[in-house]
Chain A
Amino acid sequence: MSKVLELKNIEKTFYAGTVNENYVIKNLSLDLEDGDYVTVIGGNGAGKSTMLNIISGALLPDSGSVTIDGEDVTKLKEYQRAKYLGRVFQDPRLGTATNMSIAENMAIANRRGKNRGLKWGLPKSEEAEYKELLSILDLGLENRLDAKMGLLSGGQRQAVTLLMATIQRPKILLLDEHTAALDPKTAAKVLEITDKIVTQNKLTTVMITHNMRDAIKHGNRLVMLDAGRVILDIRGEEKQNLTVDQLLKKFEHLGGESTLSDRMLLG
């Protein structure tokens, strides 16, 4: 199988050489195979978001390399890597442009990785496609193409952001606790939509979650980060049969440096 993502010996320290020095990612290596749907768990501050930010180029590693589908992208800027990546953030406000309409947001996403010139930014001919995609969400948004993004609820915004992240097929879909800011019912709905989009399009996906149950339920592979290292990487049948209890035991056994936060235990 071909590797879609290769993180090799990634190191990241914040505020190096100051009293606030924070060694966050420690010689981290991780490979994703085509079609992998990996859930990532780990305590607060384990470095999960930092890892995702290093993949997306929002942060640069101190050393190590990031390779996407065989291309070394370590030096590429965030906007240059965007053509390979679909992203949804924890904060629903971050994924969309508030003062632009749903359709305009989707049109912008539809041009991810393409040259933007002086052609019309939102051609009428594309609206049918956006309507159809929005109807998949089953949130009634297909009739509100002209509504400003800022009028939507957090859950609706995350759902639209998911569509935007995948309207141009990404090589990797990066989800950083994208349901954490939502109420449980909405979170479940957005996760359901996520599963649907990922499986239908066979997307290689990294989904960070603070919820152990979700981490077990979704995807084909589970990775646990602790203090900037991968301490657990379970896949296949073993992953399917995993329980929250087993996961907790494994974590204790491995002697995680940080304690799993309360919200994770409750998850």
Chain B
Amino acid sequence: MINIILGAVSLGLLWAIMTTGVFLTYRVLDYADLSVEGSIVMGAAIVAKLITSGVNPVIATVIAFAGGLVAGTVTGLLNTKLKIPSLLAGILTMIALYSVNIRIMGKANITLLKSETVFTMIEAIGLDGNIGVIVLAVVVNAAIAFALYWFFGTELGCAVRATGDNEKMARAQGINTDTMKILALALSNGLVALSGALIAQDQSYADVSMGQGAIVIGLASVIIGEVLFYRGNFMNRLVSVVLGAVVYRIIIALVIEMGMRPTDLKLFTAITVAICLALPTFKPQLKTAVAKIMPHKREVK
């Protein structure tokens, strides 16, 4: 049991990096970006190809991050310069990346079983198995959270936030909203690709279909984190997103343990997200319903 939980926590922390990326677009920029489904695979593909070609795993991981930046930039350009609606722009990048990712790998999947990875590197200093993954992932997540906290406090970061909050206001204040969107999308997809690169090294393989449903997993994690842990400032919010991703993986591990078929997971996740997203719509009805059943109880939270 403890191993199942540790496994879930380590996987959750790796996916948390992607979740942070999804948070950037979905919450800060107010943009549902589907290109993450492709960029998470792109990160895995780049890292697998480079590592099996003999490149240092750390350098390969950094290059994977850069690949994500490029993918996000493409989505941003499609949306802002070619005026393609945000959902469609993301879908176009996602579809295009499918082919690109196979080209990068030269085939549909690559195994890293016999290769050196960032995780075998820290195993060498005595941290092995799930503990090693958890330590490394915590460090990476913490570094990302501090970097983002700093960035969104700068003039440029404030301009990105203003763009996501109120585009008209942002433009009236002289902010180039197109550039801010591209910047946020690039950053987001960079993190998603970084996440994919680390997941591939943890699982010892990269597969062209490993991104399927990533956006929904990301959204579920963001929402779980907000509901359970978000209470105040921006740093707290970034941490809640990471915790949300971990809790999501623990929930999944538990329902599988309880006998759910792994192939039903996507359905389970989709339903969870649908319910979460629908909650605001049903809140008034929920209130009246509860008030009818329990007249003494006024507020539902």
A residues with a Cβ closer than 8 A to B are 56, 58, 78-80, 82-83, 85, 87, 89, 93-100, 104, 107-109, 111-114, 116-122, 164
Apart from A108-B170, A121-B158, what 17 extra A-B contacts exist at CB < 8 Å? Answer: A56-B172, A80-B174, A82-B171, A83-B174, A87-B172, A94-B169, A95-B169, A95-B172, A97-B161, A97-B166, A99-B165, A116-B158, A116-B159, A118-B154, A120-B153, A121-B153, A121-B157
User: Which residues of B lie under 8 Å from residue A97 when comparing CB positions?
Assistant: 161-162, 165-166, 169-170
A96 to B167, CA, bound (A): 10
Interface check B177, CB cutoff 8 A: yes
Interface check B236, CB cutoff 8 A: no
A82 to B170, CA, bound (A): 10
User: Which residues of B lie under 8 Å from residue A120 when comparing CB positions?
Assistant: 153-155
| Residues from 158 to 201 in B contacting A, C-beta threshold 8 Å | 158-159, 161-162, 165-166, 168-177
Interface check B156, CB cutoff 8 A: yes
Question: Is there an interface contact between B156 and A116, defined as CB atoms closer than 8 Å?
Answer: yes
The A-B contact count (CB < 8 A) is 84
Question: Is there an interface contact between A96 and B154, defined as CB atoms closer than 8 Å?
Answer: no
Q: How many positions in chain B have a CB within 8 Å of any CB in the partner chain?
A: 22
Q: Can you identify 16 A-B contacts, CB atoms within 8 angstroms?
A: A78-B171, A79-B175, A82-B171, A82-B174, A85-B172, A97-B165, A98-B165, A98-B166, A107-B158, A108-B159, A108-B175, A113-B174, A118-B156, A119-B155, A120-B154, A122-B158
A121 to B159, CA, bound (A): 9
B residues with a Cβ closer than 8 A to A are 151, 153-159, 161-162, 165-166, 168-177
User: Which residues of A lie under 8 Å from residue B170 when comparing CB positions?
Assistant: 79, 97, 108
A111 to B156, CA, bound (A): 11
A111 to B172, CA, bound (A): 11
Question: Is there an interface contact between A119 and B154, defined as CB atoms closer than 8 Å?
Answer: yes
